[in-house]
Amino acid sequence: MKENNQVSVPVIKRLPRYHRYLEELKKMGVVRISSKELSVRMGLTASQIRQDFNCFGGFGQQGYGYNIEQLYNEIGNILGINNKSKAILIGAGNLGHAIATHLNFQNKGFELISIFDNNPEVVGTTVGGLVVLNSNDLEEFCKKEKPDIAILCIPAEYAAENADKLVSLGIKGFWNFTQYDLVHRYENIAVENVHLGDSLMTLCYQINEIDKGVEG
C-alpha cells in the first residue's frame, strides 16, 4: 500500500473518526452513504471527505456514494487494526486500571498482553483478566515476548527513565498518559500523547469564553 506513504497527519488523525462513524452506520444497517450525508453527520465538508478518501485511492463511485462495509474495512486495513500488535501497560494505578478494563484493544489493533507495576500490593492482583507482573521482570519479559508498544500510566517524573529503558528493550511506540511529552525524545518511535490535564484546561478556557459572552 505504497500510495499512502505521503498521507498527511491531519488525514490520518481523521481516519479513526471515519472508522467509528462507519461502524455506527454499519450497526444501524445502512449500506451506502454519500459524502454529503456523511459530511452532515461528521461536521466536515463533503469535499473534505472526498479529498481524504482520494488520498487512499477513492473507494466511491460517482453518484452511488460509498459502500459502508467496504469503506469501513479499507480504512481498518489502512490503520492496520487487523495486525494485532502487542501492548504492555506500565502502571496499574487508577488510570492504568481503567485503561486495562475499559477499552476494547482488539478492535483498535492491539492485544494487551501484560501489565506491570512496582507496588508490591498491586503485583499479583488481576486487572482486566491479566495478572499484574513485577516491573523488575520487565526486561526478561520483553526479550521473550517482544511487545510492540507500552502504555505509560505512571507519574510524569518516571516517564523519561521508563521510556528510555523500554526503547532499549525494543518498544516501538508509546501510548503516553503521563504529563511528560515524549514526542521529541526519540526518532522513529511512535508516540500518542493523551494529556488529560491539557484537555481539561482547554475546556476551562472555552467555558470562560462562553461566560464572557453571556456577561458581555
Question: Which residues contact a second copy by CB under 8 A?
Answer: 5, 12-13, 15-17, 19-20, 42-43, 78-81, 83, 85, 93-95, 97-99, 101-105, 108-110, 148-149, 172-173, 175, 179, 181, 183-184, 188-192, 194-211, 213
CA 203 to chain centre: 21
Smallest separation, CB 137 to a second copy (Å):
24
Q: Name the nearest CA neighbour of 54 among 64, 44, 66, 43.
A: 66
Smallest separation, CB 109 to a second copy (Å):
3
- Measured from the CB atom, is 137 or 209 closer to a second copy? 209
- Measured from the CB atom, is 118 or 191 closer to a second copy? 191
Smallest separation, CB 211 to a second copy (Å):
8
Smallest separation, CB 132 to a second copy (Å):
15
Give how far Cα 91 sits from Cα of 1, 136, 190, Å: 36, 13, 20
- Measured from the CB atom, is 140 or 198 closer to a second copy? 198
Smallest separation, CB 164 to a second copy (Å):
17
| 3-class DSSP state of 45 | coil
- Measured from the CB atom, is 87 or 133 closer to a second copy? 87
Contact 18, 72 (CB under 8 A): no
Copy the grid coordinates of residue 88: 504492555
- Measured from the CB atom, is 62 or 128 closer to a second copy? 128
Contact 108, 75 (CB under 8 A): no
101-124: b (≥16 Cβ within 10 Å) or e? eeeebeeebbebbbbbbeeeebbe
